[in-house]
Chains A and B, each alone.
Chain A
Amino acid sequence: MNEEIITSGRMNYKIDPQLHIWGWEIPLYLFLGGLAAGILFFAAFYYLKNRDQEMPSAIKTAPLITPLLLIIGLLALFIDLNHKLYFWRLYTTIKLESPMSWGAWTLMVITPVSIIWSATYVRELYPSWDWKFKWLYDLEGFFIKNRKVLAWIMIFFSVILGIYTGILLSAFNARPLWNTSILGPLFLASGLSAGAAYIMMTSVNQLERKLFSQIDLVLIGIELFLIIHMFMGFLASTEVQIEAARLFLGGPYTLPFWTIAVFTGMIVPGILEFLEIRGRRIPAYIPGLLIIIGNISLRFIIVYAGQASRYLY
């Protein structure tokens, strides 16, 4: 027997009996960041490949939602802060060892870029749109001329943002479940897959839709591969990480993780997309929504379960 009890009584709020410092805000922030990163990545990628005629949704329509996603994400982060009046302190320092710091800066760069990108397409999509002031038209002209630069910035920062959503967690070695470098690529892949799903749902172009269901299928494959690797890594590691893996292998998170995040959110849409590619007609929003649900639940489950995993004394 090995029993540890705190006999002096310790009931620190949000710490005892089990750490719960992060509620819904952080997983929502991670999900929205990943989704926006996915959409912006594809927009920039296909723009740079000069595919704006074949990819109207990926390049023009889908990115319109990203400023909103990013702003809600930042708002969720803000709600999570306990010392809100000091929020600006985040932007008076850059600390490279702190993912929280460079992630906040990444958002500060990519949010305005997403707004500018969307703004350069507004008049093309809504011909009656009027910018009211001449200087706004001038500005629009300037950015339209420099779309290429914007696209490069977007590619670079969307990949950073996508990886960041995972690294924010994996930097914490105190929580063995998060402490795996697989979380970076896993969350990047899942963000890209959510982005592709959103583009697929908003697209009116048959070819584009087909392409993005293929992309999604590949990304789902990658995610499943990474998840298997993550568990192989845990089970071959130290006792604390084996314990962490048990949360999903018989422990309290087994059911939600495997049924919602993996089965409903990856395997089922993967099969549907496979059938679609084989020529069956499946409404795009069914796999699309399932992927988004899987994405949200993956972040929630990992953030919550990670706080339940700890070092054994």
Chain B
Amino acid sequence: MRYAMAIDTRKCVGCADCVVACQTENNVPIGYCRDWIVENTTGTYPQLQLEIRSERCNHCANSPCVRCCPTGASHYEDGGIVLVEAGDCIGCGACIASCPYDARYPHPDGYVDKCTFCIHRVRDGQKPACVAVCPTHCLYFGDLDDPESEVSVILKKRKYKTLIPEAGTDPQLYFLT
């Protein structure tokens, strides 16, 4: 099993509903967020190109954050989901410094927090909150090992890229271009 997410940058309008849905679903402390919207503009006026991306932890298959964690609090769950076990985390910040995507943050309670792919919902057979709420249906979630899953199907049809692959993290968020 290999969970992954595909984000359609052509459909995303940057409404940030995913951000709010995540904050509500996961009780993210006020002033923090586990996912965010990036607007990337390239070109020279008037030939400008806009790409909108909904970003979060990439649940990297070769995650530096898991490697550098001294206690094993950062670990892989089934399906390759990268999780932090709050009761094992000493809050040393090593994993935060090691993430090239700045996807983690220090929770006010002391441990480190980040996107969980809504593992509690996924185990119940539901989709992550951000995927469920997206009004343009631009987020796809599923198991890459299952050729019939939403995410496998869309990745077969479309061109995609990952973010900073040169960092060697083997990220599992696929941005459809």
A residues with a Cβ closer than 8 A to B are 1-16, 19, 21-22, 77, 80-87, 89-90, 92-93, 95, 97-101, 104, 171-175, 238, 307, 310-311, 313
Contact = CB atoms under 8 A, between A and B. Distances in A.
A12 B110 contact: no
Contacts of B67: 97-98
Given A13-B105, A77-B92, A89-B89, 14 more contacts: A1-B42, A10-B36, A13-B31, A15-B96, A82-B106, A83-B90, A83-B110, A90-B70, A90-B92, A95-B71, A97-B67, A101-B71, A172-B97, A311-B167
B68 interface: yes
A76 B48 CA distance: 49
A104 B38 contact: no
- Which 6 A-B pairs rank lowest in CB-CB distance, beginning with the nearest? A82-B91, A83-B91, A83-B110, A101-B70, A174-B100, A12-B105
Contacts of A99: 68
Contacts of A19: 96-97, 102
A139 B105 CA distance: 48
B163 A174 contact: no
B80 interface: no
Given A11-B31, A13-B106, A174-B98, A4 B40 contact: yes
Given A12-B33, A12-B105, A95-B72, A86 B94 contact: no
A84 B67 CA distance: 21
Nearest to A5: B39
Contacts of A86: 71, 87-91, 110-111
A261 to B, nearest CB: 21
B38 A5 contact: yes
Contact of B14 (A8, A13, A16): A8
B161 to A, nearest CB: 11
A21 B103 CA distance: 13
A311 B100 contact: yes
A86 to B, nearest CB: 5
A82 B104 CA distance: 14
10 contacts: A1-B43, A16-B102, A80-B93, A86-B87, A90-B71, A95-B69, A172-B64, A172-B94, A173-B100, A313-B163
A8 B37 CA distance: 5
Interface in B51-70: 52, 64, 67-70
B91 A81 contact: yes
B31 A15 contact: no
B27 interface: no
Interface in B23-41: 31-33, 36-41
Contacts of B71: 86, 89-90, 92-93, 95, 101
Contacts of A174: 64, 97-100, 167
Contacts of B168: 173
Nearest to B36: A10
Nearest to B99: A174
Contact of B70 (A95, A173, A313): A95
Nearest to A25: B93
A296 B117 CA distance: 42
A252 B89 CA distance: 34
A15 B106 CA distance: 9
Contacts of B87: 86
Contacts of A93: 70-72
Contact of A82 (B14, B52, B88, B93): B93
A1 B88 contact: no
A83 B92 CA distance: 8
A16 B96 CA distance: 12
A173 B167 contact: yes
Nearest to B65: A174
A79 to B, nearest CB: 11
B79 to A, nearest CB: 22
Nearest to B45: A1
Contacts of A9: 16, 33, 36
A98 B70 contact: yes
Contacts of B48: 1
B39 A83 contact: no
B14 A7 contact: yes
A299 to B, nearest CB: 15
Which of A15, A85, A95, A98 counts the most B-chain CB atoms under 10 A from its CB? A98
Contacts of A2: 40-42
A239 to B, nearest CB: 10
B129 interface: no
